[in-house]
Structure 1
Amino acid sequence: MILKPKFHIFVCASSRLTGEQKGMCMTKGTVRIVNEFISEFQEREIEDDVMITTMGCLGICGKGPVVIIYPEGIWYGKVTPDDVEEIVESHIEKGKVVERLLI
């Protein structure tokens, strides 16, 4: 039996259908954001509860980098690596949306 994570986090990686990564989100630190999420999950020992996936371009580059959290379907915009700790602590651990980042 496969266990489903409690949360699935998607981070825009500006990927095009060709697999090429170019665009706003990638140039604004997507890789660092993903790495920060992974570090936070490990530090808090919640890596079994959370899955993180990069995704293609959403076409709302002015709001990027974009982070989407399921199962709630919450969209965060203009996320920086410095925002990740707050997202994990507030949203993932306490169930409280980070209002200032909402799209």
Structure 2
Amino acid sequence: MTDSFYKHHVFFCLNQRDPGAERPSCASCNAQAMQEYAKKRVKQLGLAGPGQVRVNKAGCLDRCEEGPVVVVYPEGTWYTYVDETDIEEIVVSHLQNGQVVERLLIDRP
């Protein structure tokens, strides 16, 4: 068990802006379905719960132009994604196996 309550705490931006807003919104990119998919997969893989992984909804994470976005704490690893294939890779590679998914990183080294 880590010093943190969760080994990984995952936040999906689900912010929805009005049509015609100056900035994009993650909710317009199927973010709700992707958050639900990640939560389901984490449970299916037996990774959910205290000391393990928690997948949460979040309001605006203020990285709108790079979205849709998801952030994994405590590392503070920021990802973007397109579909369930990308979410699956984040869940298996990062959350299950501890390997950052370089191709989906927003802040690349």
TM-score range, shorter chain: 0.7 to 0.9
Report what 1:72 is aligned to.
75
Moved over 3 A (4+): none
Q: Which amino acid aligns with 2:69?
A: V
Matches within 5 A, 1:1-103: 4-14=5-15, 21-22=16-17, 23-48=24-49, 49-103=52-106
Distance 1:67 1:94 in 2: 18
Q: Which whole-Å deviations, capped at 9, do the CAs of 1:15-63 have from their partners, x for residues lacking one?
A: xxxxxx3252001011111111111112101111111222222333221
CA change 1:63–1:80 in 2 (3 A) is: farther
Gaps of 5+ in 2: 18-23
Q: Which amino acid aligns with 1:47?
A: A
The count of residues paired between Structure 1 and Structure 2 equals 95
Task: Judge which range, 56-65 or 82-91, deviates more.
Answer: 56-65
Which TM-score applies when normalising by structure 1?
0.82
Q: Is the 8 A contact 2:9 2:55 kept in 1?
A: yes
Distance 2:36 2:56 in 1: 11
Indicate the RMSD between aligned Cα atoms, in angstroms. Answer: 1.7
Gaps of 5+ in 1: 15-20
Identity of aligned residues (%): 39
Task: Judge which range, 22-31 or 83-92, deviates more.
Answer: 22-31
